[in-house]
Structure 1
Amino acid sequence: MSADFHDDHLPSDRHHSPEDRWPGFEADEALYWARVLLRHSPDPQRAGIKAQMHTAIERGVPVTGPEWVRTAETARGDGFTPVLYQTLFETLQTIPPASFRSHPGHRKAVFKTYVPGTPYESELWRDWPRLFLTEGFDARTATSLALLRAEPRFPRTQKRGDAEA
């Protein structure tokens, strides 16, 4: 799995429009998603590549990582905007992975010399916008409820000695 930033997304590349990089997204929306996914990337990235991406995004170029467009499409289909996505993932950072078996921190993609990535899991988060926006739960409670509802899908792992009891 390569998590490298591809040269065709560099800001010096003038032959690709935002629509080429982000099909189905308006230029402003693509830029907002790029900003959020740079911070909360679904895939690991080399730090140097992330720095280049940051520079491009700050100049208004909606660059994309390997899974960004698919992640944004899926999250948008689940009712997320870039602001809601950022709120979810920032809130998630306040909840220790040990609190829930379903916590995506257990499935974080980590490679040596890469900034880790946390994949967006639609089946886990699709109810989050409703919990937050419609049902009125604060962001942390909505996140905890989504994680709690997903717990049955993540079985407990046996600790050593449990099988002997």
Structure 2
Amino acid sequence: MSAEFHGNPTSDGADDSTGRKDDDEIRRRAAEQWRGFDPSEALHWSKVLLHHSPDPQRAAIKAQMSSAIARGIAVAGPDWVRTADTARMDGFNPVLYQSLFESLRTIPKSAFRSHPGHRQATFKTYLPGTPYETELWCDWPKVFLNEGFDARTATALTLLRAEPKFPRPRTRGQG
């Protein structure tokens, strides 16, 4: 769903008709948002992007989204479908995307100027988001799958190859 996600899960797990109607409406909207994605693929992307969101989200919204996902309902933040579609065109599936971003967490952003942690979107009361950058990651699936590197090494190599695209920050005294 959007950042204005309004799931209404029942608190006691009871199967009331209002909860079913809400879930049916949420599923209908999810199918509209995730056009071009099989429902199970959309759900899997939802699970991955909940934890590796390209955009910042409020914790309460993510909690509602998590609850919907647990009920088998695909949800989407503002840039999730576009991110999944772009990543899919680059050769990613949800498992590869998760592998990339999990390995990225093991590499300090100070190690590479190209590290997306430098461009992470943050707001005061939101959980941060890390945008997917196709120009940075489009070769990662090939490096990981075809060249036989483990996920962390493929991530480090991809960041290293991208370093020339990210100039060193200027320091005082440079003109």
TM-score relative to the length of structure 1: 0.91
Mapping of residues 44-59 of structure 1, within 5 Å:
44-59=56-71
Mapping of residues 93-112 of structure 1, within 5 Å:
93-112=105-124
User: Any stretches of 5+ residues in structure 1 without a counterpart?
Assistant: none
Deviations 1:18-67 (A, max 9, x none): 42120100000000000000000000000000000000000000011000
- Give the aligned length: 159
Residue 4 (structure 2) aligns with: 6
For 2:142 and 2:149, locate their aligned partners in 1 and report how far apart those are by CA, in whole Å. Answer: 9
Find 1:62's aligned residue among 55, 64, 74.
74
1:24 is aligned to 2:36: yes
For 1:48 and 1:81, locate their aligned partners in 2 and report how far apart those are by CA, in whole Å. Answer: 27
1:37 is aligned to 2:44: no
Greater Rg by CA: 2
User: Any stretches of 5+ residues in structure 2 without a counterpart?
Assistant: 9-21
Q: Percent identity?
A: 65
Residue 161 (structure 2) aligns with: 149
TM-score relative to the length of structure 2: 0.86
| Residue 17 of structure 1: how far off its partner (Å) | 4.9
| Residue 14 of structure 1: how far off its partner (Å) | 2.7
1:87 is aligned to 2:85: no
The two structures, once aligned, show a CA RMSD in angstroms of: 1.5
1:35 and 1:57 in contact (8 A); partners too: yes
1:10 and 1:63 in contact (8 A); partners too: no
